[in-house]
């Protein structure tokens, strides 16, 4: 089974056109940008606040848009049409994820400009951001596949978005509730720890563990998503 860029690109083009006519995409991006604009007006904005905006963008733009795209395909029975076409699972998923990926990158650039975040070293932060986008895309796809409609998706996605979008706030409660220590391994917390180390001038030797943890989230979520997709491929 060979991967055909042409087919992936056709799905991407279709999604781009379809979503450009869709209100929820515009409003979701607007929310993230609005939040960034509000925080950007504050004095002495901390690294945590910069990353709260970034994590929020991951959650509401990447996660939610991806989840809604997949859920809508399911609700309207168009995903079945794609599955019955020569497009493979990887082509469908890559095509459908590219829109969320590009939308996230553009939104992040605008948000980071509005909050005035300029990392001490761009490369490690860029790698961490790209890995995080992959994680949120996989998570959004999974939730979209588990939903029957866009309405259901917008409900099912909320707790997950809360945990991964705002979960870093819960770190402050770890001393009181040790069970919350698991949050330290969440990708949204890992990227903040990584960003602090980058600001301290540390190199890849000191941050690889954070990248590794985020990568592990990507791999595990992607594997679960593939299994669920394969199950959904059949109409049992």
Partner 1 sequence: MLENVIEVKHLAKVFGNQTALEDVNFSVQKGETFGFLGPSGSGKTTTIKILTGQLSPTSGEIKVLDLPFLSLKKSDYRKRIGVLTDNSGLYQRLSIYENLKLYCQLYDVPIKRIDEVLETVNLASEAKKVVSKLSKGMLQRVTLARAFLHEPDLLFLDEPTSALDPVNSKHIHKGLKKLNDKGTTIFLTTHDMSEAEQLCDRVAFLNKGQIRLLDAPKMLRLKYADESIQVQLTNGKEILIPKGPEGADELHNYMSKGQVVSIHSNEPTLGDIFVEITGRELI
Stretch that binds partner 1, among 14-22, 33-41, 124-132, 185-193 (CB under 8 A): 14-22
Determine, following the binding rule CB under 8 A, whether residue 27 of this chain makes contact with partner 1: no
Question: Scanning residues 143 to 182, which ones bind partner 1 (CB under 8 A)?
Answer: none
Stretch that binds partner 1, among 8-16, 98-106, 179-187, 202-210 (CB under 8 A): 8-16
Dihedral Cα 135, 28, 160, 215, nearest 10 deg = 10
Question: Which is nearer to partner 1, 84 or 179 (by Cβ)?
Answer: 84
Closest CA to 163 of 143, 142, 188, 185: 188
Residue 112 CB, shortest distance to partner 1, in Å, is: 31
CB-count exposure of residue 153 (10 Å: 0-12, 13-18, 19+): buried
Among 41, 46, 77, 179, binds partner 1 (CB under 8 A): 77
Question: Scanning residues 88 to 147, which ones bind partner 1 (CB under 8 A)?
Answer: 88
Hey, CA dihedral for 186, 69, 110, 157, is it positive or negative?
A: negative
Residue 124 CB, shortest distance to partner 1, in Å, is: 38
Distance in angstroms (rounded) separating the CA atoms of residues 107 and 209:
27
Determine, following the binding rule CB under 8 A, whether residue 199 of this chain makes contact with partner 1: no
Secondary structure percentages of the chain, helix, strand, coil, to 5: 85, 0, 15
Cβ proximity of 53 and 36 under 8 Å: yes
For residue 18 the two structure tokens come to: 């379809």
Among 41, 44, 84, 179, binds partner 1 (CB under 8 A): 84
Stretch that binds partner 1, among 43-51, 60-68, 84-92, 164-172 (CB under 8 A): 84-92
Among 7, 50, 96, 210, binds partner 1 (CB under 8 A): 7
Distance in angstroms (rounded) separating the CA atoms of residues 95 and 105:
16
Determine, following the binding rule CB under 8 A, whether residue 197 of this chain makes contact with partner 1: no
Q: Which residues of this protein are in contact with partner 1, per CB under 8 A?
A: 1, 6-7, 9-11, 13-14, 17-18, 21-22, 76-78, 80-82, 84-88, 233-236
């Amino acid at each position: 089974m060979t991967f055909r860029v042409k087919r992936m690109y056709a799905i991407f083009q279709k999604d781009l056109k379809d979503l450009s006519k869709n209100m929820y995409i515009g409003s979701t991006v607007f929310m993230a940008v609005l939040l960034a604009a509000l925080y950007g007006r504050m004095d002495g904005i901390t690294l945590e606040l910069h990353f709260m905006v970034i994590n929020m963008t991951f959650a509401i733009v990447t996660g939610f848009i991806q989840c809604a795209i997949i859920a809508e395909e399911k609700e309207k029975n168009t995903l079945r049409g794609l599955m019955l076409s020569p497009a493979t699972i990887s082509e469908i998923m890559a095509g459908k994820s590219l829109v969320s990926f590009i939308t996230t990158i553009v939104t992040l650039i605008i948000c980071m400009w509005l909050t005035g975040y300029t990392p001490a070293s761009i490369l490690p932060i860029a790698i961490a951001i790209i890995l995080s986008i992959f994680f949120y895309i996989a998570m959004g796809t999974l939730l979209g596949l588990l939903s029957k409609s866009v309405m259901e998706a917008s409900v099912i996605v909320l707790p997950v978005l809360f945990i991964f979008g705002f979960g870093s706030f819960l770190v402050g409660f770890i001393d009181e509730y040790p069970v919350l220590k698991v949050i330290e391994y969440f990708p949204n917390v890992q990227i903040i720890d990584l960003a602090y180390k980058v600001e301290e001038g540390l190199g890849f030797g000191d941050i690889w563990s954070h990248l590794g943890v985020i990568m592990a989230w990507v791999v595990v979520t992607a594997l679960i998503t593939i299994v669920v997709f394969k199950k959904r491929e059949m109409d049992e």
